[in-house]
Structure 1
Amino acid sequence: MRLELKELTGICISTTGNIENTVIQGVTKDSRQPSPQSLYIPISGEKFDGHNFVMQAIEQGAVASLWKKGTPVPEELESSFPLLFVDDTVEALQKMAKLYLKKVKPVVIGVTGSNGKTTTKDLLEAVISTTFKTHKTQGNYNNHIGLPLTILSMENDTEVIILEMGMSNFGEISLLSKLSEPDLAIVTNIGESHIEYLGSREGIAKAKLEIKDGLKESGLLIVDGDEPLLQHLSSHNVLKCGYGEDCTVKIVNQEGDEDGFTFELEGENMVYSLPLLGTHNVKNAAYAIAVGHYLNIEDSMINEGLKNLMLTNMRLEKYRGLNGALLINDAYNASPTSMAAAIEAVKALNNYKRKVVVLGDMYELGPSEEEMHRGVAKHIDDTITDVIAIGEKGKWIGEEVLKKGEPSINVAIFTKKEEASEAVRSLLSQEAVVLFKASRGLALETIIKPFIDDVQGAGK
C-alpha cells in the first residue's frame, strides 16, 4: 500500500509531528516484526497495551503511530514523530480500512460459513488471479482487527480483494460486512461451529446471513442451495449452488477419485477439473466458478485456475506416507459437519482396501457436545475398516461406533494422541488411506509427521 499520512487526518481528533510530509507503505500492530515505512497501530488488550511498545515499533521501521487520546506519550519520543490521536485505535483502524477501500476501489468479495471458508477463499483466488490482480485474507485474519489489516495490506493496484469473515457471536459478521461493503457475498454452508454461543443452527444461519448487511445494493449473494435454512432466500441477486433441483447453479455429471473430481454445471459445456478430495469441495468450487462468471472470466481460464489451486495447509492435504500409505491431513479444525464430509471423502476412495479414520475432540459445541460427537458414528459404515478415536470427547465417537456392533470395523480409543501413534503405524500400507481430523486445539497433525517419508506429498 501507499498512503500519504495527511489522507488519514479525517479519522483523527488531532495530530502532532510531521504529518504533512510522511508517507506510509503499510500498517502493523506487532512491534516485534520488521515493518519499514509503516503506521503502528497500538492495540490495548486485557494483559498488554500496545502503546507501551511504540519505541520498539519505531526501531522496526514505523514512521508514524495511531494514539489513543489521553494515553501518556513517552518522553523519549521525538516531537517530530507523527501521532494521530483517536478515541479508539481499533475503530480508527477500521475507518482507515474503509477509506483505503474507497481509494483503491477493488471488487470486494466476502466469504463466510461454518466450514469451507478458507478453501473457498483459496479457490476464488485461483480462479480470479488468472485474470485480475487479486488479494486475499492470509491466515486467520478474519475478525474485526484482522479484516481491516488485510484490506490495508493490499497493493494500490489491486482489482479484486477476497475477505474471509469469521465470527463466534451475533453482530460480528454484520460489522465486517458494513466495513467492507462487498460486491459479492458467499455463505458456504451452515454447520455447528460456535453453536455454544449461538444456540442453534438457526442462530448460526442468522449470524452468517449478517453478511448481507453491508452488501452493495447491486451486489450478489451466493449460498449453499442444498441447505434448508437458506431456502427462504429468493431474489434476483441470490444464487444457490448445489445439487438440488432448485439450485440456480446446479452441479451435474460429477466423477471422482483420489486425485480429485471432474464435474459440469447444468446448461454449460465445460468439464471442470478439481484436484481436491471431498464432494463438499466441488460445491466450494462451484461458488468460485459462479464468481468467475460474474467477473466475466472465460471458462477455460476458470478451469485453468482450478487445476492450479494452491491450498492453505491442513485442508484434506494429501501425503504419501510410511509403507506407501495415503495420509490425509484435515486437522486444521473440525465440526460435526466438516468431520462427516471428510469421512465421506475417504469412503469414496475405492482404490484402498483399508480405510482408517483418526478422529479427535471437537470444541465449542455447547451442551449438546456429547450427542454431536456420537452423531458422527452414523457416517461410519462398513466401508470404513478402522476407527481410532482420540481425546476426552473423541472417545464418544469410538464408543458409538462400537455400539453399532459392526464386526468388520476395528475400533481403538485413546485418551491422548501420543498413545494412538503406534496403533496408526501398525495400519500403514500401500492399501491404506488414513484420515486425521479434529479441532485445532488437539493439534492432531503432530502425530502425522513421523509417518511422512516424502514431505512433498502426493498432490501437494
Structure 2
Amino acid sequence: MIPIKLEDLARITEGRVLRGDLSQLILSISTDSRTLQPGDLYVSLRGERFDGHDFIWEAVSRGAMGFLTSRSYAELSSGQKGVPGDESAAQSNISSTRSQKGDLAIIQVRDCLAALQALAREVRNRSSYRTIGLTGSTGKTSTKDFLKSILAKRFKVWATPKSYNNEVGLPLTILGADSQDEILIAELGMRGEGQIAQLCEILRPDMGIVTRIGPVHLETLGSEDRIARAEGELVEAIPETGLVVLNRDDRWFPSMADKARGRVVSYGMDSEAEVRATDIKLDAEARPSFQLVSGDRRTLVKLQVMGEHNVANALAAAALADELGVSMEEIKGGGWGGRGPGSGGGRGAGC
C-alpha cells in the first residue's frame, strides 16, 4: 500500500494515538492475526461470530507494528468493551511485547470498520491507478481473472484477491495495491440495495463491467427488477469521462445503458453487440473456441476452461481490454485458462 504516517492515519480515521512515533510509516494492513506478517498494522474488526480484539496480543506476538482498536487501555486489559480492567496489565503487555519495527503503535478509533474504510478511501484518493469495478449476478470472478490476465500483458495490475468483494474486502483490496500499479480491478459483491453504491463511494471507479443479471439474492431483494437496480449502482457511479461495459444479451441492457453517464460499450452474441462472438464451438472437453469480433477486426480465441457460459465472461474482459489499447493479438494470447501468470486475484506485472 501507499505508506501512511501514523499521525496521518489518526487524522484520516478520526482516531487518537495512544502510543507510537507519529512519524512512523504504516506500510501494510492485516485484519487476520493468523495470516498477519511482521510489520503489518492489525485492525481489530468485530464480526458476527468473532471480535478481533480477542486476538490483538496474538497479532502483536506475530510481529504487528501496532493495532487499531475501539477500546481503551483498561478495556484492552479486561478483554471486554465497556468493562474496565487493570490498566497496568495492558501497559505491561505493551511493554513486554514489542513489534519488530520499534515501539508499538496503538490508535484508538470509534469504529474499526469505518476507520478501515476511511483509510482505503484516502489511499484511493492519493493513487494514480485507474480503477475498474466489476459486478453482476454471476460470472464476476471468471471475468476478473480473464481481464487481469489480458491486461497484465500491458500494465501493472492489482485485482481483488480471494473473495474480497464486500465492505471489508474492498478496502483490503485497495490497501493491497502499491504505488507502481497502473490498474486496479475490484470485484463488487451485492447483498442488498445501496451496498454497491457504498462500495463505489470508496472505490471511485473509472470503468465498470456488469456481467449478467439473474435471480440471485431474491430472498433479500424480492424481485429481479430490484436486483438489476442494485447492480446498476455501479453503472451510475461511473463518471461522464468513464466507460461502462454491458452485456447486450441481458434483458436489462436497455435500462442499464440508460443509467450510464459514461460511454457504453456492449458485448455479447447479439449481432448489435460492439464486441461479439461468432462460430462458437466446444471441444471434446467442453472448452469453447470462438471468433472474437470487434468492428472489422477479428481473431480466434480458445478458452482453457469448460463451459459455453464462459464465452460471455471472456467477451466482457476482451471488450474492456480493447478499449484500453490491448491489441487483438495480445487478447488472443491472453490467460484464458484463468490459472496462468497474472491470473486469479492479486498482482499481475506488465511488460
When the two structures are superposed, what TM-score results if normalisation uses the length of structure 2? 0.82
Which position in structure 2 is the counterpart of 1:310?
339
CA RMSD of aligned residues (A): 2.2
- Mapping for residues 134-283 of structure 1, pairs under 5 Å: 134-232=157-255, 233-234=257-258, 237-257=263-283, 258=285, 259-267=287-295, 268-283=297-312
User: Larger C-alpha radius of gyration, 1 or 2?
Assistant: 1
Per-residue CA deviations over 1:290-314 (Å, capped at 9, x if unaligned) read: 1111211122112111446428xxx
- Mapping for residues 40-79 of structure 1, pairs under 5 Å: 40-68=42-70, 72-74=75-77, 75=90, 76-78=92-94
How many Å apart are 1:167 and its aligned residue? 1.7
How many Å apart are 1:189 and its aligned residue? 0.3
Which position in structure 1 is the counterpart of 2:82?
none
Write the distance in 2 (CA, Å) between the matches of 1:66 and 1:307. 41
Aligned residues: 312
Which position in structure 2 is the counterpart of 1:33?
35
Closer, same or farther in 2 for the Cα pair 1:73/1:47, shift >3 Å?
A: same
Task: Choose 196-205 or 71-80, whichever is displaced more.
Answer: 71-80
Task: Choose 49-58 or 181-190, whichever is displaced more.
Answer: 49-58
Write the distance in 1 (CA, Å) between the matches of 2:336 and 2:233. 32
Q: Unaligned stretches of 5+ in structure 2?
A: 78-89, 96-102, 345-351
Whether the 8 Å CA contact 1:66–1:85 is kept in 2: the answer is yes
Which position in structure 2 is the counterpart of 1:299?
328
Closer, same or farther in 2 for the Cα pair 1:28/1:120, shift >3 Å?
A: same
Whether the 8 Å CA contact 2:135–2:209 is kept in 1: the answer is yes
2:314 to 272, 285, 309: 285
Write the distance in 2 (CA, Å) between the matches of 1:171 and 1:284. 25
Q: Which amino acid aligns with 1:3?
A: P
2:18 to 3, 16, 19: 16
- Secondary structure at the aligned position of 2:166 is classed as coil
- Mapping for residues 97-108 of structure 1, pairs under 5 Å: 97-108=120-131
Task: Choose 253-262 or 70-79, whichever is displaced more.
Answer: 70-79
- Secondary structure at the aligned position of 2:282 is classed as strand
Identical columns (%): 32
How many Å apart are 1:199 and its aligned residue? 0.7
- Secondary structure at the aligned position of 1:271 is classed as strand
Q: Which has the higher contact order (CA 8 A, sep 6+)?
A: 2
How many Å apart are 1:136 and its aligned residue? 1.1
Q: Which amino acid aligns with 1:184?
A: M
- Within the alignment, does 1:81 sit opposite 2:81 as a pair? no
- Mapping for residues 395-414 of structure 1, pairs under 5 Å: none
Write the distance in 2 (CA, Å) between the matches of 1:218 and 1:145. 28
When the two structures are superposed, what TM-score results if normalisation uses the length of structure 1? 0.64
Whether the 8 Å CA contact 2:291–2:298 is kept in 1: the answer is no
Whether the 8 Å CA contact 2:288–2:311 is kept in 1: the answer is no
Closer, same or farther in 2 for the Cα pair 1:215/1:19, shift >3 Å?
A: farther
- Secondary structure at the aligned position of 2:41 is classed as strand
Which position in structure 2 is the counterpart of 1:428?
none
How many Å apart are 1:269 and its aligned residue? 3.0
Q: Unaligned stretches of 5+ in structure 1?
A: 316-460
